[in-house]
Amino acid sequence: MRVLVSDASVLIELSKWSLLEAIFELPCEFAVPDILYEDELLDLHGLTREDLVRLGLRVEHLDPKGMEQAAGYQKRRPQLTLHDCFAITLSVINEWPLLSSDKRMRQTAEEESVEVLGVFWVIDQLEAKGIVPTETLAEALAGMLEDPRTHLPAAEIRRRLKRLRGKD
C-alpha cells in the first residue's frame, strides 16, 4: 500500500473541516515523523493523536543518519522548521510522496525528486472515491476560502468549488 508522509499543516487543515478521519478510508497509508507527532499534532478539532494512530496513522522514527540528513536540510534552508526537515527526510529516505501545502517544503522535496501532493489532492481523492459527499467537500472548501489562516490559492479553491457545486 502506498505511504504518504504528511506535514502537520495538512492534517490540521483537514481536521478544521472535519475531513481528517475520512482520509484513512483512502487506499493509502499516512505517516508522520515522531517529532512532528509529539510536538505539532495538538489541535485536531476533537481528535487526539492517539485517535489518529487508531485510525491508521504511522508514526515513523529517523535513525541517526536520517537525523543528520534532516539537520542538513535545515542548515541549507533555515526557513524550514526541524519538523519540516524530518518530514522531508522521511519522504526522501523511503521514497514516499510528501503531503504538504508549504511552498518551501514542496520546493525542497521536489529538488530531492520526491513526489509532492497537497490538500487539493486529498480533496480530489475523497471525491473520486466517493468517501465524502460533494456537498461536504464544497462546504469545507468554502470555509477554507473564508478562513484567513488557510494559505491555499483562492483561485484553485474557487475552481474546485465551482466544479463541486455543479455536481449538486
Whether pLDDT at 88 is above 90: yes
Q: Give the integer Cα–Cα distance in Å for 44 and 72.
A: 30
In this structure, are residues 73 and 47 in contact, taking their beta carbons and an 8 Å threshold?
A: no
**From the DSSP assignment, how many helices (H) and strands (E) are in the chain?**
10, 5
Domain match, 78 and 15 both: yes
Sheet holding 3-6, edge to edge: 58-60, 29-33, 3-6, 98-99, 116-117
Q: What is the pLDDT of residue 129?
A: 96
Domain match, 15 and 51 both: yes
Strand partners, 50: none
In this structure, are residues 89 and 73 in contact, taking their beta carbons and an 8 Å threshold?
A: yes
- Residue among 77, 107, 112, 76 nearest 92 (CA): 112
Whether pLDDT at 92 is above 90: yes
pTM exceeding 0.85: yes
Reported as a single tens digit per residue, the pLDDT across 131-162 is 999 999 999 999 999 998 888 899 999 999 99
Counting the structural domains of the chain, the total is: 2
Domain match, 95 and 38 both: yes
- Residue among 60, 118, 117 nearest 89 (CA): 60
Q: Supply 72's cell numbers.
A: 542538513
Residue 164: helix, strand or coil by DSSP? helix
Confidence class for position 43, pLDDT limits 50, 70, 90: confident
- Residue among 11, 70, 76 nearest 35 (CA): 70
| Range(s) of the domain holding residue 103 | 3-118
Last residue of a domain, one of 118, 141, 158: 118
Domain match, 94 and 142 both: no
Would you tell me the crossing angle of helices 154-166 and 134-146 to the nearest 10 degrees? 150
Domain match, 127 and 160 both: yes
- All residues at 6 or more sequence positions from 78 whose CB lies less than 8 Å from its CB, including other chains: none
Reported as a single tens digit per residue, the pLDDT across 96-122 is 999 998 999 999 999 999 999 999 999
Query: Any idea what the CATH number is for the domain that residue 90 is in?
Result: 3.40.50.1010
Q: What is the pLDDT of residue 167?
A: 61
